[in-house]
Amino acid sequence: MRTLLQRVTRGRVTVLDGPAPEVVGEIGAGVVLLVGVERGDTEADADETARKVAALRIFPGRTPMDRTLAEVGGAVLVVSQFTLAASLVRGNRPSFDGAEVPARAEALYLRVAASLRAAGLPVATGRFGATMSVDLANDGPVTFLLPVAGGRVRDTETTGS
C-alpha cells in the first residue's frame, strides 16, 4: 500500500461523474491521504497505514514537526488513488498490473478510513472509482510517501516495482 500524505490547511474532493459536480468530502486543517492499494495488500497494511498516520508528529509545536493530528484537532481526507500502484519502468504508458482488483482495493481503502475514525479522528472520503477533482492547500509544503507492506512501514529507498 502506498499512501501520499499531504499536510493541508484545507482539502476538498468533488465527484465529477453525474449531471453536476458533487462535493463528497471536505476538511479544514489536517492531512489529505491519496491511498494506492497494491496487489497483495492486506488488512494489516491498511491498519498500519492508519496507525502511522494517526501517530505522525508532522504539525508545528515547540518544533516544526512536533504534534499529531489529534493534538492539533486536525481532520483526514482519504481519497483512493490507484495510480500510485503504477509502474513507469517500461515504455511511456503506465502499467497498472500492480494495482489490486477494484473490489479488494475498495475494501482496504475504506478500512484505512474506518481505522482512522476508530482512532478518534474526523475523516472524510472521496468516492471509490469515481472521477474526482481533489482541491487542497498544501501547508508547508509538507508531503510524505508512506509505503506499507507485510503490515510494516517500509523504507522508500527499498520499495518500488
Q: Which among 83, 131, 156, 159 is annotated as catalytic? A: 83
Q: Under DSSP, is residue 47 helix (H, G, I), strand (E, B) or coil?
A: helix
82 assigned to active site: yes
Given the residues 6, 59, 82, 125, the one annotated as active site: 82
N- to C-terminal Cα separation, the chain: 12
Instruction: Return the DSSP state at 55.
Output: H
The CATH superfamily label for domain 2-142 reads D-tyrosyl-tRNA(Tyr) deacylase (3.50.80.10)
Q: How many CA atoms lie within 13 A of 71 on its CB side?
A: 14
Catalytic residue among 3, 14, 49, 81: 81
96 carries an active-site annotation: no
Domain ranges of the chain: 2-142
CA within 13 Å, CB half, 74: 29
Give me the sign of the Cα torsion angle 157, 47, 14, 17: positive
pTM of the predicted model as reported, rounded to 2 decimal places: 0.94
83 is known as an active-site residue: yes
What's the pLDDT tens digit per position in 76-130?
999 999 999 999 999 999 999 999 999 999 999 999 999 999 999 999 999 999 9
